[in-house]
Amino acid sequence: MGNAVDIRIAAGAEEIGLAMMLKDLLAQNMEQRPEKIPDFQKLSIDVGLIISDAEVEITLSFSGGRLIIYPGLKKGAGLVITAGSDTIMALSNLKIKGGMPYYFDKTGREVALAMVTGRLKVKGMLFHFPSLIRISRVMSVQ
């Protein structure tokens, strides 16, 4: 597969601003940071995103170098992340150090506080922790 990644928007999701923004963010990340591509290619999981303050739900369906963004939540998603739009944006700004999310700067502390206070919920985190770390690395613009 080399450095190929395939990011698509499913029918119905092109009307969702978040879906389009994530498609662009990920495509740009893979182009500008090719070292992230191996993590992207190893992902094989459905990730539901619920943006609580915007009443938006999408599913990121990763499969061996391909991502399709669907409207709504797909049944059986391995990870479901629920948060407000500000917290979701903070996740994309989370620094990665030593291959892991870094929680010791301003953005990292905000994300950690959101988790502790329940403003950020990650269902399936214990069962899919390696995928969660890969997604964090792929999504981070840092």
Examine the pLDDT at 3 and tell me if it is beyond 70.
Answer: no
Rounded CA gap, 28 and 30, in Å?
Answer: 6
pLDDT in tens, 38-64: 999 999 999 999 999 998 999 999 998
The two most distant CA atoms of the chain are separated, in Å, by 41
Residue 102, burial from CB neighbour count under 10 angstroms (0-12, 13-18, 19+): middle
Residues with Cβ within 8 Å of residue 108, at least 6 apart in sequence: 94, 95, 101, 102
Model confidence at 1, pLDDT cuts 50, 70, 90, reads: very low
Model confidence at 2, pLDDT cuts 50, 70, 90, reads: low
pLDDT in tens, 66-111: 999 999 999 999 999 999 988 988 888 889 898 888 999 999 999 9
Contact assessment for residue 76 and residue 48, using Cβ atoms and an 8 Å cutoff: no
Q: Which domains does the chain have, with CATH numbers?
A: 6-139 (3.30.1050.10)
What one-character DSSP code corresponds to residue 41?
H
Supply the pTM of this predicted model.
0.91
